[in-house]
Homo-oligomer: A and B are copies of this chain.
Amino acid sequence: MQDKIGKREATTLARRKHIVESAAICFIEQGFHQTSVRDIAKRAKISLGNLYNHFENKTALIAEIAALEADSLISVTKVLTGNAPHKKKLEQFIKAHFAATSTPANAILAAEILAESMRSPLIAEGYIRNRQSLITALIPVVEMLFPDAEPELQAELILDTIEGAGNRVAFAKAKKKKATRDALIDWITAKISDA
């Protein structure tokens, strides 16, 4: 029982997680640079000083949020690894990733992270790594379905379309969202040589 977590350590971990979640809410509502450290502390219901016991500075908090995106990506890539027909897998991937990117909270955070990536190498690194993991998971399927295209370029264009469309309709009505999703699936899968 070497790795038994003590009461102290457990609450510290939970507190840390709680701070990250509170920060994410603030960032979604106000943006990175319009959110003050006091805002985050207030939302997490802890003192200002205590926040600095858990995070070195505000930048570290932003980086942690940006890295969090990676976790949600893993579940999306899972649909690509099964034994189902490739076309079916791609279709499910489009649905899953479109659903994720068209969620307002995700769209807002993604826009915030993208803008931040443009100036901060630390954030950009995480952003690129996340995207590459999607590309890598997508390539084998794309290779089968679009034998005439260069697989990586093709996979990236597919991602561009899904993410672009998702973010664009994040605030649209459910009806338009659904129509866009269906058109998106058609647009991508229509070019597949054969099932």
- Tallying the copies of this chain within the complex gives 2
| Chain B residues in 8 Å Cβ range of A180 | 153, 156-157
- Distance between Cα atoms of A111 and B107 in the complex (Å): 12
Query: Do the beta carbons of B111 and A115 come within 8 Å of each other?
Result: yes
Bound CA–CA A122/B161 (angstroms): 26
Does B160 lie within 8 Å of A160, measured CB to CB?
Answer: yes
Interface size on A, residues (CB 8 A): 34
Of A13-21, A26-34, A40-48, A54-62, which binds chain B? A26-34
- CB pair A160 B149 closer than 8 Å: no
B contact residues around A31 at 8 Å (CB): 33, 115, 118-119
Our pick among B119, B157, B168, B184 for the contact of A187 (Cβ within 8 Å) is B157
CB of A74 closer than 8 Å to a CB of B:
no
Query: Can you sample 8 A-B contacts with CB below 8 Å?
Result: A31-B115, A31-B119, A33-B33, A149-B183, A160-B160, A160-B164, A187-B191, A191-B191
